[in-house]
C-alpha cells in the first residue's frame, strides 16, 4: 500500500458506464462495492465503522468531510466497531486539516492505515441524483496502478457480485460470545445476536440495567436458552435477508417459546420473514440520520437514523394473521411509505427498521429500548394473553 499524494488522479466508475473523476485519498488501489449515498450531516466516523456498510461504497451528501479528523481509542464512543467496514468512500470536499482536540489522526491517514480507498472532488450532488434515478448499483474506485482504460474498469465493476443474494453475516459477526455488563445493578440479561451489531446498542442496554451477551450469528436456540436470558435482540447487519434461512428458523423458535424479542434494521427484516412476510430490495435505500417515520399508535413523527437497502413487504393498513398470531405495522416512513417496524399482538415481539441506538444521533427513538425493558418486565407477555390492535 502506498500513500496517496494530494494530486493523485482517481476514478469512480459505475456499472452503467458513468465515470466521475476526482482525487484519491486514503489507500491507493481499487475498491469495489454497491454505490449508496448517506444523507447524514455529521457522524462520518460512525458511518465508516458500521458493519452494515460491508461491501458498500458510501457517497457522503454532506459537502465537507474530514474536518473532525479521526478519534481512536476504546474509551471513545465514535467507533461503532473496531474497524472501518465501508468498501470505499466518496466525498466532495475533503477537509485539508482536522480541527478537533480529540482527533488522534486525520481521516485520510486512518483510511490509509486500514487500506480503504477514497475519492474526493466528486460532484456528489449530481452523483446522488443519478443514484436516486437509476438506483444503487455496483461501482469501483480506482487510483494509482489500478487505473486503466475506462472499458476495462467498467468490465471489472460488472464482474463483481451484487447485493441481492449476498449472505454477509459470517463476515461481520463475532467469532466468540462476549458480555457487556449493565451499568449499575443488572436487572435483565439479554442475548444479542450479532448480525453486524453496532457498539452503541449494548451501551444503550447497559444504561437500562441490561447485561448483554453478544452471541455469534450461528447461535442455536439451545445455546440461547442455556444463557438464561430474559430477552433476545436481533441486531442490524449487511446483506440480503432472503439468504438468512437459519436465522429465520431461530427467530421462529424464539417466537414459539414466547421469549421477548426486539429487532432493529436487519433484525426487523428477519422477524418479518419469520412471520411469513417477504422482503425486497429498495431502489436506493434509506441511509442517513434525518429520516422521518410515523409511530402509528401515537401519531408521533420521529426523526431517525437509517441504513438499509431492503425492506419488509407487509400490508400497511390491516392487521395480518400469521402462524404466531396477529401482527401490525407499527412504523412507516413518511418519505415513501416503506414499512419501518412490526408489532406482534399475540407474542412478545416487536421490531423497527431504523436505529434507535443512533450514534451520532438523532435520539428521538431511544425510548424503544425502554419498551423492550417493559416487555421483559411484564409477566403476562409469557402467557397466552393477546394484546389489542392499535386503533
CATH number at residue 344: 3.40.50.880
**335-372 residues labelled b (16+ CB within 10 A) or e (exposed):** eeebbbbbbbbbbbbbbbbbbbbbbbbbebbeebbeeb
Task: List pLDDT tens digits, range 341-355.
Answer: 999 999 999 999 999
Residue 70 lies in a domain: yes
Q: What pLDDT, on a 0 to 100 scale, did the predictor assign at position 322?
A: 97
Q: Which helix (H) or strand (E) segment is 137 a member of? A: strand 137-143
Task: List pLDDT tens digits, range 262-316.
Answer: 999 999 999 999 999 999 999 999 999 989 999 999 999 999 999 999 999 999 9
Q: Is 355 a catalytic residue?
A: yes
Residue 237 labeled ligand binder: yes
For the chain, list residues with pLDDT below 70: 1-7, 74-76, 381-391
56 torsion bin: left (phi>0), alpha (psi -120 to 50), beta (else): beta
Count of residues making up the chain = 391
Shared-domain flag, residues 353 and 287: yes
Residue 156 labeled ligand binder: no
User: What CATH number has the domain bearing residue 47?
Assistant: 3.50.30.20
Query: Residues 256, 260, 263, CA angle at the centre, nearest 5°?
Result: 100
Shared-domain flag, residues 122 and 202: no
Residue 307 labeled ligand binder: yes
Residue 69 neighbours by CB under 8 Å, 6+ apart: 98, 99, 100, 103, 104, 105, 106, 107
Q: Which of 127, 158, 189 is the last residue of a domain?
A: 158
Q: What is the pTM of this model?
A: 0.93
Residue 313 lies in a domain: yes
Residue 199 lies in a domain: yes
Residue 267 lies in a domain: yes
Q: Single out the catalytic residue among 110, 130, 265, 286.
A: 265
Residue 266 labeled ligand binder: yes
Give the whole-angstrom CA distance, residue 364 versus residue 98. 29
Shared-domain flag, residues 195 and 337: yes
201 within 8 A of 357, measured Cβ to Cβ: yes
Shared-domain flag, residues 239 and 204: yes
Q: What pLDDT, on a 0 to 100 scale, did the predictor assign at position 76?
A: 65
Q: Is 139 a catalytic residue?
A: no
Shared-domain flag, residues 297 and 153: no
Shared-domain flag, residues 85 and 202: no
Shared-domain flag, residues 236 and 362: yes
Q: Which of 158, 190, 217 is the last residue of a domain?
A: 158
CA R_g for the chain: 21
Residue 269 labeled ligand binder: yes
- Quote the domain boundaries for residue 72: 9-158
Q: Single out the catalytic residue among 286, 306, 308, 355.
A: 355
Shared-domain flag, residues 319 and 283: yes
Residue 310 labeled ligand binder: yes
Q: Is 265 a catalytic residue?
A: yes
Domain count within the chain: 2
Amino acid at each position: 500500500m502506498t500513500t496517496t499524494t494530494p494530486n493523485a488522479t482517481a476514478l469512480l466508475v459505475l456499472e452503467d458506464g458513468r465515470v466521475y473523476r476526482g482525487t484519491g485519498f486514503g489507500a491507493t488501489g481499487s475498491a469495489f462495492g454497491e454505490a449508496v449515498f448517506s444523507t447524514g450531516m455529521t457522524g462520518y466516523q460512525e458511518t465508516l465503522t458500521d458493519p452494515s456498510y460491508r461491501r458498500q461504497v458510501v457517497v457522503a451528501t454532506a459537502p465537507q468531510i474530514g474536518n473532525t479528523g479521526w478519534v481512536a481509542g476504546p474509551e471513545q464512543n465514535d467507533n461503532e466497531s473496531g474497524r472501518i467496514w465501508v468498501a470505499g468512500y466518496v466525498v466532495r470536499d475533503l477537509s485539508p486539516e482536522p480541527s478537533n482536540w480529540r482527533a488522534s489522526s486525520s481521516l485520510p491517514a486512518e483510511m490509509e492505515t486500514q487500506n480503504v480507498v477514497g475519492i474526493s472532488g466528486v460532484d456528489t450532488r449530481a452523483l446522488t441524483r443519478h443514484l436516486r434515478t437509476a438506483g444503487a448499483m455496483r461501482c469501483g474506485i480506482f487510483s494509482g496502478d489500478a487505473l486503466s482504460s475506462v472499458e476495462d474498469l467498467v468490465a471489472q465493476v460488472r464482474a463483481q457480485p451484487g447485493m441481492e443474494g449476498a449472505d454477509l453475516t459470517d463476515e461481520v459477526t463475532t467469532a466468540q460470545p462476549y458480555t457487556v455488563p449493565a451499568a449499575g445493578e443488572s436487572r435483565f440479561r439479554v442475548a444479542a445476536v450479532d448480525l453486524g451489531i453496532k457498539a452503541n446498542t449494548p451501551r444503550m442496554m447497559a444504561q437500562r440495567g441490561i447485561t448483554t451477551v453478544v452471541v455469534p450469528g450461528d447461535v442455536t436456540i439451545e445455546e440461547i436458552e442455556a444463557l438464561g436470558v430474559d430477552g433476545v435482540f436481533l441486531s442490524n447487519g449487511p446483506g440480503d435477508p432472503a439468504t438468512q434461512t437459519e436465522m429465520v428458523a431461530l427467530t421462529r423458535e424464539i417466537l414459539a417459546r414466547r421469549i421477548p424479542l426486539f429487532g432493529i434494521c436487519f433484525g426487523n427484516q428477519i422477524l418479518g420473514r419469520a412471520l411469513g412476510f417477504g422482503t425486497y430490495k429498495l431502489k436506493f435505500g434509506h441511509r442517513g440520520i434525518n429520516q422521518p417515520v410515523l409511530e402509528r399508535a401515537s401519531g408521533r413523527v420521529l426523526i431517525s437514523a437509517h441504513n438499509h437497502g431492503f425492506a419488509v413487504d407487509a400490508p400497511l393498513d390491516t392487521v395480518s394473521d400469521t402462524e404466531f398470531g396477529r401482527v401490525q405495522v407499527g412504523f412507516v416512513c413518511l418519505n415513501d411509505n416503506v414499512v419501518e417496524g412490526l408489532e406482534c399482538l399475540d407474542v412478545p415481539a416487536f421490531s423497527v427498521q431504523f436505529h434507535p441506538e443512533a450514534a451520532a444521533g438523532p435520539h428521538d427513538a431511544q425510548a424503544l429500548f425502554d419498551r423492550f425493558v417493559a416487555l421483559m418486565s411484564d409477566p403476562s407477555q409469557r402467557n397466552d394473553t393477546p394484546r389489542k390492535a392499535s386503533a
